[in-house]
Chains A and B, each alone.
Chain A
Amino acid sequence: MSGFLRDSSIVFRRQLRMNLRNPAWVIIGMLQPILYLLLFGPLLEPLIGQFGATNAYTFFVPGMLVQLGVFGAFFAGFSLIGEWREGVIEAERVTPASRTALLAGRLYRDLLQLFVQALILIGLGDLLGMDASPIGLVLGVLLTLLLGGACAAASNALALTTKSEDVMAPVINMVMLPVLLLSGILLPMAIGPAWLERASDFMPIRHVVDGVRASFAGDLASSGLLWGGLWSVVLFALALWWGTATFRRENA
């Protein structure tokens, strides 16, 4: 296990070093949560009464958080294709490092990015008047990290499977659309017609969004948090397994 931690942190440091050298990555990453809050928040504020909630930011920040986590992570795999093309993945796979560590080190980077974005989002939301329970915040961020990790792992797996940006981009688009429309990320599904809400029951990410929302609101005993927690753990485990399998696969 210590070997795993050491290997994955070597991979992590390498990835972080390369990303930090790219100022666009840093600036855009930090700007995203700010833009969401400043440009989208005011638009939603007047609607809040319709959702039966009182504080607009407590209600909307969870959705933005999940949105950041999911969408940022979906794109994580693209850089892997470039690395694969240059023989980096093969060079790593020929070392005795654990295959899971090769993936995990990359996930740490994505999770760190998401964590920093979450801190910015929550800090700024706080300034704008968000009123969330502290323990709910912690749990909500935890669920988001699990979900973001799952999406990043899936994205990496997809990258190593397709090995081509041209194939991967449309696939990601095709996945993102239903996620955006059926997860209630920005607007809760409860305001739509019943059939749409039923359809969204089949979208696992919707349950995670509900869970994060419930935990920010302080409903720690609610079934929403329970289901959200379960789904994020399940998704994370599945994606990690898939990602590891692609790194292990002989033909990668």
Chain B
Amino acid sequence: MIRARGLVQTFSTRQGRTKAEVRAVDGVDLDVEEGEVVGFLGPNGAGKTTTLRILTTLLRPTAGTATVAGYDVATQPQDVRRSIGYVSQAGGAFSGARAGDEVVDHGMLYGLPRSVVEKRGKELFEQLDLPGLWTRMPRNMSGGQKRRLDIVMGIVHDPTLVFLDEPTTGLDPQARANLWEHIRALRERRGATVLLTTHYLDEADALSDRIVIIDHGRIVASDTADNLKAQVAGDLVDLEVADPLRLADAAERLVRLVDDERSVEVVDGHVRARVPRAGRAVPGLLRELEASGITLESVEVRRPTLDDVFLALTGRSLRDADHAPGPDGAAAPPVPAGTPTGTPTTTEGALR
């Protein structure tokens, strides 16, 4: 559905007298199959929006090529536009017009008859929980309502390829969950392909078949959430040792399972390390510990989070900058103090 090769976008910005060049997108290759939901993940300024604007024909890339829905973005922009829907980060409804009018006009610009757009627009208002707001002006809507209106506008013409730029910013947990359902339904009911950008790891994790991580204009990883987690960090194994005098012994056993012995931490009666394929290694470890008479109070094996992955790839934590609760209101599982996610400085050493 999408195939991009070597996309580069440079902007020249003026700061006083000096002219600086920003390489917003710096050699992006991207493939998205039909029916896939791909999460495009990256921190502020990584180049997500710029990449999307290239793929939606709004920007002509400085270098590189892209075909979207089978058409070349540079030479067949008209055909690309006909095949896609785009919800921009800023939205597209004018604050001083009526919501319903904006939706209908936008849909009609895709060549659809008024009656069809109006019917579908009103359906989407119901589905995205905007009842009674059809004649309201966006300036009199809450931020989350306005965001949902933007989404209605972007998909009112029923596109089979949808670009969503941070669709859930400003939505409360319930509205977020509702939108997730809707995005899943887009794919399941219509076989739509979705490329969505997000800062929220839980969102990318929950929604996407595949996650593409971008940083400084480059793709640093592209895989399923599970593979990413498996490939980078290894699982966190946490042994709580009953007898403080045996901590060093326990640590020594754990070191044998990891590549880098510096990554084994001993804190507060706990021994911790990131162990590749911990599911296989831990039973053997436990037998060994038992054989040498080391008693454990508890054993914990935790799968790495996407945040760990992100940190390992970019050296920065996404969650530090941007923390969002999950759709059900529960934050990500609490992480014990001293573990990698809580203290990025120790983790960096641990992961590398």
Chain A residues whose C-beta falls within 8 Å of the C-beta of B92 in the assembled complex: 86-88, 90-92
Main secondary structure of the interface of A (DSSP, over half): helix
Between A and B, 28 residue pairs with Cβ closer than 8 Å are A6-B111, A7-B109, A10-B109, A14-B105, A18-B94, A86-B91, A86-B94, A86-B95, A87-B88, A87-B91, A88-B92, A88-B93, A90-B58, A90-B88, A91-B86, A91-B91, A91-B93, A91-B106, A91-B153, A92-B92, A93-B58, A94-B57, A95-B81, A96-B110, A96-B111, A97-B109, A250-B59, A251-B59
Complex alpha-carbon distance, A87 and B88, angstroms: 8
Question: Is A198 part of the contact surface with B, judged by Cβ < 8 Å?
Answer: no
Q: What residue of chain A has the Cβ atom nearest to residue B109's Cβ?
A: A95
- Closest chain-B Cβ to A11's Cβ sits at a distance in Å of 8
- Closest chain-B Cβ to A79's Cβ sits at a distance in Å of 10
Contact assessment for B60 and A250 in the assembled complex, using a CB-CB cutoff below 8 Å: yes
Which of A11, A83, A94 contacts B86, CB < 8 Å?
Answer: A94
Chain A residues whose C-beta falls within 8 Å of the C-beta of B56 in the assembled complex: 94
Interface positions of A from 33 to 92, Cβ below 8 Å from B: 82-83, 86-88, 90-92
Contact assessment for B111 and A94 in the assembled complex, using a CB-CB cutoff below 8 Å: no
Chain B residues whose C-beta falls within 8 Å of the C-beta of A10 in the assembled complex: 105, 108-109
Contact assessment for B81 and A94 in the assembled complex, using a CB-CB cutoff below 8 Å: yes
List of 5 A-B pairs having minimum Cβ-Cβ separation, nearest first: A91-B92, A87-B90, A95-B109, A250-B60, A96-B81
Which of A13, A82, A96, A251 contacts B82, CB < 8 Å?
Answer: A96
Q: Answer whether A95 and B110 are a contact pair too, CB < 8 Å, given A14-B97, A251-B59.
A: yes
Q: What residue of chain B has the Cβ atom nearest to residue A97's Cβ?
A: B109
| Central interface residue in A3, A18, A91, A250, by most chain B CB within 10 Å | A91
Complex alpha-carbon distance, A92 and B84, angstroms: 13
Interface size of A by CB at 8 A reads: 25
- Closest chain-B Cβ to A37's Cβ sits at a distance in Å of 32
Q: What residue of chain B has the Cβ atom nearest to residue A13's Cβ?
A: B105
Chain A residues whose C-beta falls within 8 Å of the C-beta of B153 in the assembled complex: 91
Complex alpha-carbon distance, A91 and B58, angstroms: 10
Chain B residues whose C-beta falls within 8 Å of the C-beta of A86 in the assembled complex: 90-95
Contact assessment for B101 and A96 in the assembled complex, using a CB-CB cutoff below 8 Å: no
Contact assessment for A96 and B88 in the assembled complex, using a CB-CB cutoff below 8 Å: no
Binding site for A on B (CB under 8 A): 56-60, 78, 81-82, 84, 86, 88, 90-97, 101, 105-106, 108-111, 153
Chain B residues whose C-beta falls within 8 Å of the C-beta of A90 in the assembled complex: 58, 88, 90, 92
Q: What residue of chain B has the Cβ atom nearest to residue A83's Cβ?
A: B94
| Central interface residue in B81, B86, B105, B153, by most chain A CB within 10 Å | B105
Q: Given known contacts A18-B96, A86-B90, A94-B88, what 20 new A-B pairs fall within 8 Å (CB)?
A: A6-B111, A7-B109, A11-B109, A14-B105, A17-B97, A18-B94, A87-B88, A87-B92, A88-B93, A90-B88, A91-B86, A92-B106, A93-B58, A94-B57, A94-B84, A95-B81, A95-B106, A96-B110, A250-B58, A251-B59
Chain A residues whose C-beta falls within 8 Å of the C-beta of B88 in the assembled complex: 87, 90-91, 94
Complex alpha-carbon distance, A17 and B96, angstroms: 11
Q: What residue of chain B has the Cβ atom nearest to residue A7's Cβ?
A: B109
Chain A residues whose C-beta falls within 8 Å of the C-beta of B105 in the assembled complex: 10-11, 13-14
Contact assessment for B111 and A3 in the assembled complex, using a CB-CB cutoff below 8 Å: yes
Chain A residues whose C-beta falls within 8 Å of the C-beta of B111 in the assembled complex: 3, 6, 96
Chain A residues whose C-beta falls within 8 Å of the C-beta of B86 in the assembled complex: 91, 94
Chain A residues whose C-beta falls within 8 Å of the C-beta of B94 in the assembled complex: 18, 82-83, 86, 88
Complex alpha-carbon distance, A13 and B111, angstroms: 15
Complex alpha-carbon distance, A88 and B102, angstroms: 10
Interface positions of A from 208 to 252, Cβ below 8 Å from B: 250-251
Complex alpha-carbon distance, A7 and B111, angstroms: 8
Contact assessment for A94 and B58 in the assembled complex, using a CB-CB cutoff below 8 Å: yes
| Central interface residue in B78, B90, B91, B92, by most chain A CB within 10 Å | B92
Q: What residue of chain B has the Cβ atom nearest to residue A87's Cβ?
A: B90
Complex alpha-carbon distance, A131 and B101, angstroms: 45
Q: Answer whether A96 and B78 are a contact pair too, CB < 8 Å, given A14-B105, A17-B97, A88-B94.
A: yes
- Closest chain-B Cβ to A227's Cβ sits at a distance in Å of 39
Q: What residue of chain A has the Cβ atom nearest to residue B114's Cβ?
A: A10
Chain B residues whose C-beta falls within 8 Å of the C-beta of A83 in the assembled complex: 94
| Central interface residue in B91, B93, B94, B111, by most chain A CB within 10 Å | B94
